[in-house]
């Protein structure tokens, strides 16, 4: 696998996104819930929340599945809904791992607006695979990567490789022998 983003670069870019959120929400940051899309955005959400450094921020989770192996299915399945008490009347920032087609973010936003009463719903993404002009949702992106299948820093392939501290391009994702994958240490 080829190294795409180092841990340091990812964290630097997440810090930039956190500064944008602090500037945007100002005092309202005390009324903020980070809604983490599990499982891929967990690492991203934790680091982002640490950078926001506001003790009154609530972290909630929701599960969304739209990928089979390396491809988006175009259908999003949501499960494990968040508690109403942590969504209603609060500003919600949905922290997701990858913006690809926008299907997941549209589905989550619609779900929140139909089932809860948030003050606002915005999104942050660790990675962007699509051209920025495709969506207004893309004001807070840590890194743009183009159409690559990536693993590490919380991102997985079939549940594995999430624990890598950097982000790698998975060149042959159909491999059965993940334990023997070679990690290239040079950035693409």
In a domain, 161, yes or no: no
Predicted pLDDT at 185: 65
In a domain, 154, yes or no: no
Work out whether strand 120-128 and strand 141-144 pair parallel, antiparallel, or are unpaired.
parallel
Residue 137 sits in a domain whose CATH number is: 3.40.50.2020
Q: What stretches in the chain show pLDDT beneath 70? A: 67-74, 131-139, 172-182, 184-188
Give the phi and the psi of residue 26 in degrees, each rounded to 5: 45, -125
**Segments forming the whole domain that contains residue 54:** 7-23+31-146
In a domain, 172, yes or no: no
In a domain, 173, yes or no: no
In a domain, 41, yes or no: yes
Predicted pLDDT at 79: 84
In a domain, 159, yes or no: no
Predicted pLDDT at 68: 63
Q: What own/partner pairs with CB < 8 Å and gap ≥ 24 does 145-153 have?
A: 145/4, 145/5, 148/4, 149/70, 149/173, 150/4, 150/98, 151/1, 153/5, 153/7, 153/10, 153/43, 153/44, 153/126
Number of domains in the chain: 1
Predicted pLDDT at 147: 87
Angle at 57 between CA 136 and CA 106, to 5 degrees: 25
Residue 93 pairs with which residues in a beta bridge?
34, 122
Predicted pLDDT at 104: 87
In a domain, 140, yes or no: yes
In a domain, 119, yes or no: yes
Predicted pLDDT at 65: 79
Predicted pLDDT at 113: 95
């Amino acid at each position: 696998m080829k190294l795409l983003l180092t841990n340091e670069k990812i964290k630097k870019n997440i810090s930039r996104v956190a500064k944008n959120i602090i500037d945007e929400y100002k005092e309202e940051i005390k009324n903020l819930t980070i809604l983490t899309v599990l499982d891929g955005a967990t690492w991203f959400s934790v680091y982002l929340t640490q950078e926001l450094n506001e003790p009154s921020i609530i972290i909630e989770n929701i599960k969304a599945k739209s990928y089979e192996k390396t491809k988006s299915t175009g259908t999003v399945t949501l499960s494990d809904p968040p508690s109403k008490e942590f969504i209603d009347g609060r500003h919600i920032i949905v922290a997701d791992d990858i913006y690809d087609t926008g299907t997941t973010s549209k589905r989550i936003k619609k779900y929140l607006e139909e089932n809860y009463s948030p003050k606002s719903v915005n999104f942050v993404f660790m990675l962007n695979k699509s051209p920025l002009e495709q969506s207004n949702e893309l004001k807070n992106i840590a890194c743009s990567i183009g159409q690559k299948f990536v693993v590490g820093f919380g991102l997985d392939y079939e549940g594995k490789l999430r624990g890598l501290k950097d982000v790698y391009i998975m060149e042959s994702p159909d491999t059965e022998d993940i334990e023997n994958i070679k990690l290239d240490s040079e950035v693409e």
